[in-house]
Amino acid sequence: MAKGKDTKTENVEIITEVLKITQGGLDACLLGTSPIILNRLSEKVKHELLMPRGRKTATEKALSLKHDPFAEYRAAPYILADPREATFLAHVAAAFKGAMETAALDLPGAKKAQIGRLVRVEGEHVGLYGVPRLFMRPVRSADMNRTPDIRTRVILPTWAARVHITYPQQLIRPQAVANLLGAAGFTAGVGDWRPEKGGNYGQFRIIEENDPAFKRVVAAGGRAAQEEGMANPVCYDDETTELLTWYQAELIERKQRGVDTHVATTHAAADSRHQGLGKRARTDHAAAHRPNGAGSSESLA
């Protein structure tokens, strides 16, 4: 009778040597080549996910406001609460790493999964320099019916950032990391309606820290200017001004008709993040610009 194979006597390959990995670092200054749109998951949406209130009836919809542009504007960006930080506004560091992974799809010699393992953008958030503007656009949601809606977000017409990237020196060269980051700024971008999702926003390029263009954005778009911009919103362009002007006129009319115009959840979320901020808006004609693009989960109507 044949005996089964004795697995205990099989030859086992013994690992005798493992390459020692040392960490390399790359500091890069980025300058936006197209405006960046900031749109985090709002507190209102998080609260609804945590404890859904159910669908509103037709009467409830008629007696309440669907949007509060000022509160939605203040709830849109990631913020750095620490007053010692150089900026008030920020974006998730993982977004820049994700852009590099996407760029690897189009570059010979790089693989997305491999870059995801080898490259790290340090920190949870990356501070963004630039003066914020209130940005409103009609969009179509990603549902089956492509439902139209109006979204209010923060947009930085000009922006800059500093990132610190780490990588294993034995497996990838610093120039390759720099090339990948540069390609990411052109082919993928960061923020809403970026090239990766078919838009034209959130593109950037690597620049020297002493470059005059970079220094201008950093000097004019630091923490104080950003806090002021969030406290007293300035409309980004004529289309935003038109929508916001109509909203404010309609708000007054509905108050006169006795319609409930209090959006408690959104206001509470905004006030907790921006205590003492005002709600004044004006048009900045110098920043007027008519962009176009497509969204990640939404597209322009």
Query: Is the pTM here over 0.85, yes or no?
Result: no
- Taking the C-alpha atoms of residue 251 and residue 240, their distance in angstroms, rounded to an integer, is 16
> Of 139, 133, 160, nearest to 151 (Cα)?
139
| 12 C-beta neighbours (distance < 10 Å), count | 6
CA dihedral over 38, 42, 43, 49, signed as positive or negative: negative
- Residue 186 φ/ψ, nearest 5 degrees: -95, -45
Rounded CA-CA distance 299/276 in Å is 34
Whole-angstrom distance, CA of residue 208 vs CA of residue 160: 11
pLDDT digits (tens, 9 = 90+) for 25-76: 999 999 999 999 999 987 777 777 777 877 777 766 666 677 899 999 999 9
Contact 133, 283 (CB under 8 A): no
pLDDT in tens, 224-260: 999 999 999 999 999 999 999 999 998 888 777 765 5
In 3D space, the residue among 136, 134, 172, 169 whose CA is nearest the CA of residue 154 turns out to be: 134
Residue 290, pLDDT above cutoff 50 = no
Q: What are the boundaries of each domain within the chain?
A: 22-140+150-288
pLDDT per position as a tens digit, 120-171: 999 999 999 999 999 999 888 777 888 888 999 999 999 999 999 999 999 9
Is 293 exposed, middle or buried, given 0-12, 13-18 or 19+ CB atoms closer than 10 A?
Answer: buried
d(CA 221, CA 160) in angstroms, rounded, equals 9
Residue carrying the six token digits 């209090």: 262
How far apart, in whole angstroms, are the C-alpha atoms of residue 283 and residue 200? 23
For 108-123, how does the pLDDT look when each residue is reduced to its tens digit (9 = 90+)?
Answer: 888 999 999 999 999 9
The phi, psi pair for 286, rounded to 5°, reads -65, -25
What pLDDT score does 66 carry?
Answer: 79
Beta bridge partners of 141: none
* DSSP category for residue 158: S
Strands 148-156 and 133-140: antiparallel
Alpha-carbon span 103 to 97, nearest angstrom: 10
